[in-house]
Amino acid sequence: MNRKSWICCWVGTLLLLWWSCSCKSALADRYMKYKDPKQPVAVRVKDVIGRMTLEEKIGQMVQIDRTTATIQIMKDYYIGSVLSGGGSTPLPKATAADWIKMVNDYQNGSLSTRLGIPMMYGIDAVHGHNNVFNATIFPHNIGLGAARDPELMRRIGDATALEVRATGIPYVFAPCIAVCRDPRWGRCYESYSEDPKIVKEMTDIIIGLQGEIPNGSRKGIPYVAGKKKVAACAKHFVGDGGTTNGDNEANVVSTRHDLLSIHMPAYYDSIIKGVATVMASYSSLNGRKMHANHDLLTGFLKGTLKFKGFVISDWQAIDKITSPPHANYTYSIESSILAGVDMVMVPYNFTEFINDLTYLVKNKFIPMDRIDDAAGRILSVKFTMGLFENPYTDFSLINEVGSQEHRNLAREAVRKSLVLLKNGKTANNTLLPLPKKVSKILVAGSHADNLGYQCGGWTITWQGFDGNDATRGTTILGAIKSAVDPETQVVYVENPDSKYATSGEFDYAIVAVGEHPYAESGGQSTTLTMADPGPDVINNVCQSVKCVVIVISGRPLVIEPYLPSIDALVAAWLPGTEGQGITDLLFGDYVFTGKLPRTWFRTVDQLPMNFGDPHYDPLFPFGFGLTTSKSAMTRSVSAAAAGRPYVLGIMVSVFIGLYIQSILLT
């Protein structure tokens, strides 16, 4: 071989090697492990993190409100998540199809980025899919705590997940697992109970929302079982229900023992059940803002409890690390990210957040491995949810929103949540259950025919609504009219005077009173009195006619002054859209089974007062709840049949039922 041939051979060999390496590199670029669903989640996370720029990682850590988001913003800033704040909807009375279109549009922006990382849309679905027109609204958590039925919680979680997914949304900011220790707190109805054991049991809703975690799964690993389930969020970590005087977003004064024994147990269970995310609390612990508490967010939650999902901030919460809020935003970002917050709910000023966080990382105030950890946790949840394989939503679940099956479930939840506090002025003279066939019934009170009052806050809008037009459901009045005999006259007067009540020749009266809707700080109260004219309605009606009073409220209210004139008293909490669950019990189709999830005080001067306190002197103790007997149910059924030509036999059965009941209750 001559010199020229030898050189040509070597050049050819080198070219062949170069070509071979180029092909391998091209193949490697085409095969991206993070896009392969057969790869383990940890492998996919490592692969995609290795491909991402700092800008892309920080983008994953940002959650903006839908009013700020556009397709172009999603693409340009690599935004990791979008949310609907309370009442934020694509259109007034938007349909499921409207929601799907909006979510898919934002997803288009995310998928058009260099790496095509999908965004995750989040929403408050705290008692059903509460932002959405025509959705099923379940009782608020305090009522579900009265039901004390973990299996029911699973079914509610499952139904809620279906309705949320039906609108294209894969992530909910629920459940709230706060332990409310003072009913003056404006979020007390978001708490299942004053008792940490009950709150812990209610975390079974996570299994309904996300799916049953597979056997053998490691503790702390998030789990979401497919396209009909959603990622859940345990909130608000930790102690938010124990603030001084129940002040919202304020300070919790607590020993380590009380924090771990009262406020932490539900988090243990939530993490064991595979909860995907945890939201930090606005509140402080012994003067230290929770959003800046490294010991608890990173040391305890991520370290001791081995939580592998991501920590999300509350709405503009990192701003409130300083006083006044946003006074030193760079410091707020630094302290929250170093404390362990992974995704920041920064609804509006996201460019400021991105710029400041980028500066902090580039100047080594925040190490790169903290950013990798945060972005990696977020991506891990997205992989687990199947978002990379199914980023878009189809229309296959659209009919799940407000389905009759879900409304029947909500009606069952209402039945199980009601607590009977009084039944008759004496044990021998009970009022409930009510006969369905009588001459005339008086229905009174501002809450008897108001779906908004019945649902409470976090319904359609953040603070709730007034009236019957904002969504679909059955009011108490509507339920009464459906339940009674067709020949029974139902008269509704919202605020009758005593003369009207006396002169109307009513067989009995049903009075519905309570609180007007509120959420968060809007519900702070130092007096805990029912809304006017509730007290006047009770006095005017119940001193003139046999009456059952239904209290529609997010917590116990001052009721002792009116108790002597009331024949029967029912705590209905905030029951949601299915008012027939109330009449199911009033008229004896089912018996009362609910038990007080929290202490009913005599006066606000006693607060805070919880079961086990040395000064415990309640009007009705924690766990109290009467029931109606089977003999009483016989009375109601017999009375309802009075239209048949067996009047004498029915009268006999009524008297026998009353006699047996008097023996049982004496």
Q: Tokens representing 651?
A: 């009268």
Given the residues 124, 158, 194, 314, select the one marked as catalytic: 314
Peptide bond between residue 556 and the one before it cis (omega within 30 degrees of 0):
no
Assess whether 212 carries a catalytic annotation. no
Q: Tokens representing 5?
A: 């041939």
Q: Tokens representing 165?
A: 């997914």
Q: Which residues is 570 bridged to in the sheet? A: 420, 550
CA atoms within 13 Å, Cβ hemisphere of 481: 10
Question: Who contacts 84 (Cβ-Cβ below 8 Å, separation ≥6)?
Answer: 65, 66, 121, 122, 123, 124, 131
Q: Which residues is 467 bridged to in the sheet? A: none
Nearest to 356 by CA among 338, 329, 374: 329
Contact 275, 233 (CB under 8 A): yes
Contact 553, 468 (CB under 8 A): no
616: left (phi over 0), alpha (psi -120 to 50) or beta: beta
338: left (phi over 0), alpha (psi -120 to 50) or beta: alpha
45: left (phi over 0), alpha (psi -120 to 50) or beta: alpha
Count CB-CB contacts under 10 A for residue 356.
17
Please name the residue that has the structure tokens 């302290």. 335
Given the residues 520, 567, 578, 584, select the one marked as catalytic: 520
Q: H or E segment at 82?
A: strand 81-84
Count CB-CB contacts under 10 A for residue 506.
25
Q: Is 311 helix (H, G, I), strand (E, B) or coil?
A: strand
Q: Is 614 helix (H, G, I), strand (E, B) or coil?
A: coil
d(Cα 526, Cα 529) in Å, to the nearest integer?
9
Order of strands, edge to edge, in the sheet holding 288-289? 251-252, 284-285, 288-289
Contact 625, 595 (CB under 8 A): yes
d(Cα 577, Cα 157) in Å, to the nearest integer?
17
Please name the residue that has the structure tokens 């972005």. 375
d(Cα 250, Cα 523) in Å, to the nearest integer?
14
Contact 523, 186 (CB under 8 A): yes
Q: Tokens representing 639?
A: 């009375």
Residue 133 Cα distances to 41, 140, 623, angstroms: 36, 17, 35
Count CB-CB contacts under 10 A for residue 474.
23
d(Cα 101, Cα 461) in Å, to the nearest integer?
21
Contact 260, 201 (CB under 8 A): no
Q: Tokens representing 333?
A: 């970002």
Q: H or E segment at 360?
A: helix 350-362
Question: Who contacts 168 (Cβ-Cβ below 8 Å, separation ≥6)?
Answer: 96, 99, 100, 102, 103, 104, 121, 393
Assess whether 356 carries a catalytic annotation. no
Longest dimension (CA), the chain: 127
Residues tagged active-site: 314, 520
